[in-house]
Amino acid sequence: MEKINVLFTEEEIEKRVCEISNELYEKYHDEEVVFVCTLKGAVFFACDLLKRYKGDGRIEFLRVSSYEGESSTGKINLKLPLDAEKINGKHVVIVEDIVDTGYTLEYITKYVNGMHPKSMITCALLDKKSRRKVEINPTYTGFEIEDLFVIGYGLDYDQKYRNLPYIGVVVKE
Ligand code: IMP
């Protein structure tokens, strides 16, 4: 197996996820909230957020794709749509793994807005701000990172490494 430099440990991630989950509860209290998990990358983050959430949290899944290997193909494809009935009139929190150019989050926010939620915010575990091509910023961010290709805790490199409990960078020989 390749050498991996750890960027965020399991404990650091858990602490930050708890903080965000508590901030979300402070915002919504006992109102119903639909967490929209973007597959596959955000699956661990969304489940952990929800597991810690003290209020009425629901979960829905959406899948889009634009990446192959380490680079974006630029074209976003909707692979698994949302059920509009589950979004219409609800408080929605879009849960993303990482915001890079911002094209994916822009696409998803427009798509979800078209379903007329009561409110909508975005929550990304990681943010590579310096790479942004469109003006979009997540409402909540776990960690801001440099321009590095990261893997683990749901994030993949060609479907590999998602199962790592930490976030890291593959060291290239
Ligand atoms: P964007 O559309 O360029 O913002 O890309 C967002 C999507 O690209 C994320 O949801 C990830 O699936 C993928 N992505 C971007 N950077 C990374 C990375 O460093 N590691 C793994 N996936 C990434």
Whether the full predicted model's pTM is greater than 0.75, yes or no, is yes
Active site residue 156: no
Tell me the per-residue pLDDT of 32-84, one tens digit each, with 9 for 90 and over.
Answer: 999 999 999 999 999 999 999 999 999 999 999 876 656 666 689 999 999 99
Tell me the per-residue pLDDT of 83-103, one tens digit each, with 9 for 90 and over.
Answer: 999 999 999 999 999 999 999
Q: Which of 21, 19, 20, 43 is nearest to 152 (CA)?
A: 43
Tell me the per-residue pLDDT of 22-31, one tens digit each, with 9 for 90 and over.
Answer: 999 999 998 9
Q: Interior CA angle at 47 toward 32 and 113, to 5°?
A: 50
- Separation of CA 31 and ligand 1 centre (Å): 31
Does 127 contact ligand 1 (Cβ within 6 A)? no
- The number of the ligand 1 atom at minimal distance from the alpha carbon of 107 is 2
